[in-house]
Structure 1
Amino acid sequence: HPDAVALAQHIESLNLPLADPRVYLTLALDDEFTQQKAHGAKDLVDATFRVIPEGAQAALDAAQVVDAERKWKSAESVTLAAAAAAAAAGASPIPFSDAAILVPIQLGMMAKISNIYGMSATDSKLAATAATAAAANHGRTVVLNLVKFVPGANVGALAISATVAATLTTAMGYAWASVCVKLTNDEVTAKDTKAIREMFLTELKKQVKLVRKEKPAGPTPA
């Protein structure tokens, strides 16, 4: 609207001592009356990230629903950090029976990804419990089937090497992020534990193969 443009130009002309003096004109939703399309929100989010303290960025990431790609990149960063930690833990092959030492790393990763997608603590706990229960209940079969596709696996000795630990953790991160997307888009609820278990295991199997090919599939933007 001309009045909005004029106001923005006036504010910018004041040369206020701001970190970013630009005025961002936004329209959150399409306006059927004026036929204007939604615009500006992503630019505003990007500008906000550039000026807020680093310690506040995680909260903004969780709150913003404009930029799905930014959320995905944040989830990817968390996933890769957890994978590196898992690889370090598996630097000396971990007997399958002792693989529980990876669980705190993986649960911490899932909690951080849940936070990125703005899930409540209650929903996050319900969903993560369902997902990890699925992995535990089907653990031996799932891991054996998946490990066969991962270089460095010793299926005969049931040993999880650094490569296997990192690959499985990476796949879990991508799989969990995909589940979080569906949860935040209301495609499934945290109380539907059966659906979450099935969804997570399906994604986990798919992601291990993709990670092995170095072509992980991230959450589909909403």
Structure 2
Amino acid sequence: MAKKLPQSLSVGGGGGRGRASSLSHGGGASSSHGGGAPINMDHQMEVVEQLVLDLRYPVRRERALLELSMKRELFHDLAPLLCNSFGTSTVFLQEIISIYPFLSPPNLTPAQSNRVCNVLALLQCVASHPDTRMSLLNANIPSYLYAFLVTTSNSRPFEYLRLASLGVIGALVKADDTEVNRALLSQEIIPSFLRSMDIGCELSKTVSASPKPVSSFIRPRLT
């Protein structure tokens, strides 16, 4: 079960830049008797909470996306925090949709691709967590990745975008959850997904040749 969200991050929570409440049970920082490690962990969690708050503000968003994507594997509760915090899903969709006009004709810059890839990395985090993956599907988030999967340009910005999108789908099906697989099969994203695994350039081929390629988790479960 996900822990209770800090008040500043919950639905209807305030948008100030002040320090967010702790996620730990009890709500306060660790005492000095707990030693250095718990205090440091509390501090790191406060940093993550503030970064999630920063997603609401366009001027802070790019840095927040980068920092959160780099920290996503360090905090088990990051996925529930992202999934349940006020406005975060809307921010992610805004970022994804913002680059649609640059997909055709292909005018996507590396900076634009990197920014959305950071969003997709966080969505992959949500897709990997057992408490949040169905929320991702119920919000129909995979359908917004359709536009990325059907691109045919082999330039690096597009290749990274396709691979990051495949990572989100791969995270959903990796758990081999029947309900998740059924939901994915009901969406039109699957044909475009299967096609996207066959059109990449060297980067895709390198990933496909890795010990645990994305396709090895997805193709057997969805075909």
Structure-1-length-normalised TM-score: 0.32
RCO higher in 1 or 2 (8 Å CA, sep ≥ 6)? 1
Structure-2-length-normalised TM-score: 0.32
